[in-house]
Amino acid sequence: MPRAGTRIENRFGESIIFQQTSAETQCKSLEVEVVYRPQAPLPPMHYHPLQWERFEVRAGQTGCSTRFSKSKQGGSNRAH
């Protein structure tokens, strides 16, 4: 079971760092930081019916699309 500070790296070059886990927040939230390498493949399309995601670009830029809109984010911009 991961705890805050646990780091996982996958074969696509993503690093996932757990900030808070559901065990640590009494099942209220899970917070992770995901670091993508440049030119990393996009995550697969997915849907969270009972959760929300927030993205914050800390360096460089990334694209974000939903079924409603597309945007390009860069340096300290946030997408909800």
Containing 79, the helix (H) or strand (E) segment is strand 78-79
Residues 11-41 have pLDDT tens digits of 887 899 999 999 999 998 889 998 888 877 7
Residue 1, pLDDT > 80, answer yes
Q: Is the pLDDT of residue 77 over 70?
A: no
pTM: 0.66
**Beta carbons within 8 Å of 64's beta carbon, 6+ residues apart:** 55, 70, 71, 72, 73, 79
**Domain ranges for the chain:** 1-37, 46-80
43/2: higher pLDDT: 2
Residue 65 DSSP class: E
For residue 5, what pLDDT is reported?
Answer: 94
Q: Structure tokens of 64? A: 């974000």
Other beta carbons less than 10 A from residue 29's beta carbon: 12
